[in-house]
Amino acid sequence: MLEILVRNRGRTVPRELIIEQIWGWDAPTGNALDALVKLTRKKLKGIPGLGIQSVRGVGYRLEVPDVLQNP
Does the structure show a pLDDT above 60 at 16?
A: yes
Residue 65: which pLDDT band, with cuts at 50, 70 and 90? confident
Q: What are phi and psi of 28, to 5 degrees?
A: -70, 155
pTM summary value:
0.82
Which sequence spans correspond to the domains of the chain?
A: 1-46
Residue 40 and residue 53 in contact, taking contact as beta carbons nearer than 8 Å: no
Mean pLDDT confidence for 10-25 = 93
Min mean pLDDT across 10-14, 26-30, 43-47, 66-70 is at 66-70
Give the C-alpha separation, 61 to 68, whole Å: 16
Q: Are 51 and 5 in contact (CB under 8 A)?
A: no
pLDDT at 38 over 90: yes
